[in-house]
Structure 1
Amino acid sequence: MDHHDYTSVTTGGRRPRRTALRAVTAGAVVLAVAAGGAFAAGLGPFERDTGPDPAAGKQARAFLADWAAGRLPSAAGRTTSPGTAQRVLDSFTTGLDISKPKLTAESAAEGEDGTVTVPFTARMPVEGLGTWTYESKLPLREQSDGSWKVDWKLSLVHPRLSDTEKFRLEREETKPPEVTDREGTALSGAEFPSLGPVMARLGGGGEGTGPRGAIHLVDRTTGKVERTEATFGARTVRDAGPVRTTLDADWQAAAEKALAAHADGKNAALVALRIDDGEILAVANSPSSGFNRALSGTYAPGSTWKVVTSSALLLKDAVTPDDVVDCPKYLTVGKRFQNVELSEHPGATFHKDFTESCNTAFISLRDRLGDGDLGDVARKYFGVGQEWHVGAPSYDGSVPVPKDETEKAASMIGQGRVQANPLIMASVTATAVSGTFHQPSLTEGNEDTTSTTPLPEGVVAQLREMLRATVTDGTARVLSDLPGEIGAKTGTAEVSDDQDNNGWLVAHRGNVAVACVVEEGVTGGGSAGPVVRGLLAAVPGDSE
């Protein structure tokens, strides 16, 4: 077994308590997770200047953002004990093989002693194993100069971390199963590097054949295990023999080549699947080792989500493609939203708003949907948020009811708390152009507990027409010179002030739907567009 220890033990001093009580309110903000659609820069769609002192909440969110992004000196500098904090944070993430933490801050609370507490959820991807999720709290204390700092304690990193107890990662490596594509062609991690994280988790519903491990809480002095905090992988033995997948060796090779050639070394992921049955033809990740972004990533989908928003509006007869829905540069709903590159289209039709990806037009239609309508349509017609059994671990999406008008506006353009990944968005595209959701599958015989309703034929026809026009006359013109009746939608997803936007593109041709995200790709057409174009150009057939 491999043992990794988290070992830092020093604690920092405390600062004087403040005397004045202040109410600090901070909307929930997802940090280190891609947000969707391009809108005005700021600290996120839920930033508020309400309450007498928002500085405490801002400092907490900045600390979490720095920690999540690996800016540990900056994160430590926001605490009352910078030296100790930096050593502990580095030892914790490095010692437990954690990469790219995802930290979600909740609403701040005021204590009677003048301190402020900000609860947060930590999702810690443990290299090659899975995600360790837990909840903790950040204590903040006002300093003598009126500024706020995180009141450093070991327990804020994890509630059970202390001077007497630490965490240890234990790994038990297992041999990945032999894997073939849909035709029986052998697939190896050497030939198809992107499949490494996928193949390790195939078989037995994605459990039992991949790497196994655990995070234990142990006594610092004796090393005795006090409790097991998280386990990864199942201790079952799969029957001998190769695992036959739905993958297609030609599509997989083309997907990996497209990412290598056009993702410019950025983190990126792509999924291609069959429209008529949901069978996955290709899963590609860049980098090829580590986290499986394509199936398990949690990103806001940006303007690609307008496929779902448009479906909801069309289903309710809230708009038609020919209705005039003005597209100004800006629209303020609690905060200022804007279009990519500050574009505007006065007097545009809804059809034009879709093809040009107009954020302000879509947000202006928010009152025509109930607060829960977007999530209901996503679940009922697209299966998003239901439990999917793909044949490997996957994240199946989330569309929560918005907390306020600003969050509802953000949700209309795939921002806010809407979460998806390339698997979900490829499936959304397939459902939109066929009318019927099929649970995606990577292996045969997976349980299917989903329940969905087909989209009306009229809605499907309208969606197909708008997707096609986005290629011929809109933001997805990067695909316009390829043969075939290709339809597509671009997306540009704001992340934070310190990071470039993520780029998205979804497309369909023949019987195949594709979705690609490029982290910090700036725009969808400029980053994900060339990747998808490279894939479709390399595989002229459409897996009939």
Structure 2
Amino acid sequence: MAAVGVVLAVGAGGAYAAGVGPFARGDAGPDPAALEQARAFLADWAGGRLPSAAARTTSPGTAQEVLGNFTAGLDISKPNLTAAQPLLAEDGTVTVPFTARMPITDLGTWTYKSELPLREQGDGSWKVDWRLSLVHPRLSETEKFRLEREETGAPEATDREGVMLTTDEYPSLGPVLGQVGGAGAGPRGAVRLVDRVTGEVERTEARFGEAPEDGSGDDGPVRTTLDADWQSAAEQALAREADGKNAALVALRIDNGEILAVANSPSSGFNRAVSGTYAPGSTWKIVTSTALLLKGAVGLDDVVDCPKYLTVGKQFHNVETSEFPGASFRKDFTESCNTAFISLRGKLGDGQLGEVAAKYFGVGQEWRVGIPSYDGSVPVPRDETEKAASMIGQGRVQANPLIMASVTATAVSGTFHQPTITAGDTGGTTTTPLPAHVVAQLRELMRATVTDGTARVLADLPGEVGAKTGTAEVSEEQDNNGWMVAYRGNVAVACVVEEGVTGGGSAGPVVHSLLTAVPES
């Protein structure tokens, strides 16, 4: 498959990478200039700006060569680098620990921890004190890493009714069919630590796609949970309505989490729908609303003013700087008012949004989907600005269409069901059902968003259709990503269109096309 990876994360230079740092500022803490240099180095490295990253080190030439060889040699698409609290040594040097999540094309994500050393220069500036071990603690003058792939070939696969699935007829399954098989078999490989001179393997750092011990992956076609009708409609909807932009869509059953369709545009390369990392934007207000309603912190008819702007360390605004003076919380949800939601941040503890996401929606737990997946992240905000951003699905909150389709299904049913694309083990998650009164409120809010709010594009569809739109900032140089999640009958859908500007205007027509083409189920 093509080595294509689109990972939209703060680490990759998103809008909040520059404005909301991961570092706590204190009078006795490290020099802010050192922290700024560390933040900039990690952002440049993650964003593929290797000459710029290398220039921030004490050895630019070597740094650029090593960083380039490391990412290219291991088929790493775009790193996601998350910094922890900095450490200040007695000699004045600064160390910034960080977690590296390295997506290896077609295999999965290699996660490890390392440290970024910084030293003050003679002119008072700060630079990253270059050494091989900052890239990975075991990288050295005598050891390096080698990626080994095992060619397994794409297994034959069928949909839930036994219809054969091929990439000729369903091109968007290209990144998917090579990953399914037996109890999670598919592309297999490993990252090995080897001796630079002899090439002898010293240890295995990461394994991907281990073959089933019982050999079940070799016994005929793999039966998936996919539905050929839904899959075809999803691919046609993206082809017809996404305007050639990068986009992804997932449809799944609400009652059991079985995935009915996974579609990507372009149809080859990276599986954005399941492995992508995106800020979910205002679709995340489903989770934020859940946290507020669980706490009794707000009622649907409570007045929560919606001004054009609200400043919390930085200025936040609504899409097209709209405002709704004296709006009810219901109105804030249906019109997706950022400032109103941000104004309620004091009603939640700093880590409460992440706790609710994990406890009730399974986000951030380990999912066993049947193919490699990214399972979401909701870090505890490091300051009030980041907390404000997380209320509206920005900052360091990360999801993808699979996660948001599951969030929607959980919200409208009350029970999380592990999403799956095969009949393999779906254990690994532990969640708590939502109270019935919260489910009823969430359904009411999402239905009102279709009848009276930003998801009016779906209003002509028959039956009870509920939805939530989202607009997610990426960077100052890129248009916003457009999102929409929706439910109808026993199916939940989520779609993202990169640089779609608004959810209703970009993802909305895709979802409308899909739901029009497939009868209610």
Structure-2-length-normalised TM-score: 0.89
The whole-number CA distance in structure 1 between the counterparts of 2:207 and 2:423 is 26
Which residue in the other structure is 1:503 paired with? Answer: 482
Which amino acid is 1:346 matched to?
P
Name segments (4+ residues, structure 1) moved above 6 Å. Answer: none
The one of 49, 56, 59 equivalent to 1:71 is 49
Matched, 1:533 2:509: no
The 3-state SS of whatever aligns with 2:172 is helix
Which residue in the other structure is 1:215 paired with? Answer: 191
Deviations 1:454-477 (A, max 9, x none): 433333332222212222332223
Give the alignment of 1:411-430 within 5 angstroms.
411-430=390-409
RMSD: 2.6
| Deviation at residue 34 of structure 1 after TM alignment | 6.6
Which amino acid is 1:233 matched to?
G
Deviations 1:410-460 (A, max 9, x none): 332223343322112111111222233322221235344544444333333
The one of 190, 200, 203 equivalent to 1:224 is 200
Deviations 1:376-404 (A, max 9, x none): 43334333344433222333333344444
The whole-number CA distance in structure 2 between the counterparts of 1:531 and 1:389 is 27
Give the alignment of 1:391-470 within 5 angstroms.
391-444=370-423, 446-448=425-427, 450-470=429-449
Q: In 2, are the aligned partners of 1:168 and 1:218 still within 8 Å (CA)? A: yes
Which residue in the other structure is 2:5 paired with? Answer: none
Matched, 1:365 2:344: yes
Which residue in the other structure is 1:44 paired with? Answer: 20
Identity %: 77
Q: In 2, are the aligned partners of 1:205 and 1:392 still within 8 Å (CA)? A: no
Q: In 2, are the aligned partners of 1:182 and 1:246 still within 8 Å (CA)? A: yes
Which residue in the other structure is 2:357 paired with? Answer: 378
The whole-number CA distance in structure 2 between the counterparts of 1:291 and 1:506 is 21
Which amino acid is 2:493 matched to?
V
Give the alignment of 1:58-457 within 5 angstroms.
58-207=36-185, 210-236=186-212, 237-238=215-216, 239-444=218-423, 446-448=425-427, 450-457=429-436
The 3-state SS of whatever aligns with 1:137 is strand
The whole-number CA distance in structure 1 between the counterparts of 2:131 and 2:432 is 51
Matched, 1:31 2:11: yes
Unaligned runs of 5+ in 1: 1-28
| Deviation at residue 490 of structure 1 after TM alignment | 1.2
Q: In 1, are the aligned partners of 2:420 and 2:426 still within 8 Å (CA)? A: no
Aligned residue-pair number: 508
| Deviation at residue 42 of structure 1 after TM alignment | 5.1
Q: 1:499 to 1:144 in 2, by over 3 A?
A: farther
Q: 1:134 to 1:381 in 2, by over 3 A?
A: closer
The 3-state SS of whatever aligns with 1:427 is helix
Q: 1:46 to 1:451 in 2, by over 3 A?
A: closer
The whole-number CA distance in structure 2 between the counterparts of 1:533 and 1:43 is 36
The whole-number CA distance in structure 1 between the counterparts of 2:66 and 2:507 is 37
Q: 1:42 to 1:151 in 2, by over 3 A?
A: closer
Q: 1:370 to 1:139 in 2, by over 3 A?
A: closer
The whole-number CA distance in structure 2 between the counterparts of 1:263 and 1:149 is 43
Structure-1-length-normalised TM-score: 0.86
Q: In 1, are the aligned partners of 2:483 and 2:504 still within 8 Å (CA)? A: yes
Q: 1:321 to 1:86 in 2, by over 3 A?
A: same
Which amino acid is 2:508 matched to?
G
Which amino acid is 2:12 matched to?
A
Which residue in the other structure is 1:9 paired with? Answer: none
The whole-number CA distance in structure 2 between the counterparts of 1:60 and 1:444 is 45
The 3-state SS of whatever aligns with 1:458 is helix
Q: In 2, are the aligned partners of 1:45 and 1:406 still within 8 Å (CA)? A: no
The whole-number CA distance in structure 2 between the counterparts of 1:65 and 1:389 is 30
Q: 1:155 to 1:520 in 2, by over 3 A?
A: farther
Higher deviation after alignment, 174-183 or 299-308: 299-308
Which amino acid is 1:226 matched to?
E
The whole-number CA distance in structure 2 between the counterparts of 1:498 and 1:83 is 28
The whole-number CA distance in structure 2 between the counterparts of 1:269 and 1:116 is 41
Which amino acid is 1:109 matched to?
L
